[in-house]
Amino acid sequence: MHSKKLIAVVLLSGAGLAQAFAPQAGTWVVSSELDGKPGRGLAIDVQNDTFVMQMYAYESSGQPTFYLATGKIANDQVAAPLIRYTGGRYLGSGPLSGKEAGTVGTVRFRFTSGATGYITLPGESEKAISR
């Protein structure tokens, strides 16, 4: 009887190993770009296995832009379409709705802890990120 309980405890304790931790919710940065100057950044949230990332960045013209990626997190990794948005409400405007302007590629995340990991953006090499 005790051996059956021990086996059950061992099996159940390993059930959560597929995702040992969840990335912390909040603002994240590309570590190599953390220089005190305006740049790009990420806001990440995870609810159960659903991952959401908002990214503020700039176009090659210098215009600011907004991206959103949603996907399932498994084994501390995510691959999701990175969708660009345009329009929307600005300071002092009346009601306006932003518009989806298409997918710019796939963004990939590989987390090494709740506060560190790596991001691969479309057209870029993998970069360290941190909370």
- 3-class secondary structure, 28: strand
Which tens digits make up the pLDDT trace of 30-84? 999 999 988 899 999 999 999 999 999 998 999 889 999 999 999 999 999 999 9
Mean pLDDT score across all residues of the chain:
88
98-111 and 41-47 strand pairing:
unpaired
> DSSP label at 113?
S
pLDDT tops 60 at residue 118:
yes
> DSSP label at 91?
T
| Residue 21: predicted pLDDT | 80
Q: Which residue, 39, 45, 51, 34, is CA-closest to 108?
A: 51
**Architecture of the 25-130 domain:** Beta Barrel (2.40)
Do residues 130 and 32 lie in contact, with contact meaning Cβ atoms separated by under 8 Å?
no
pLDDT tops 70 at residue 8:
no
Q: Would you list the domain boundaries of the chain?
A: 25-130
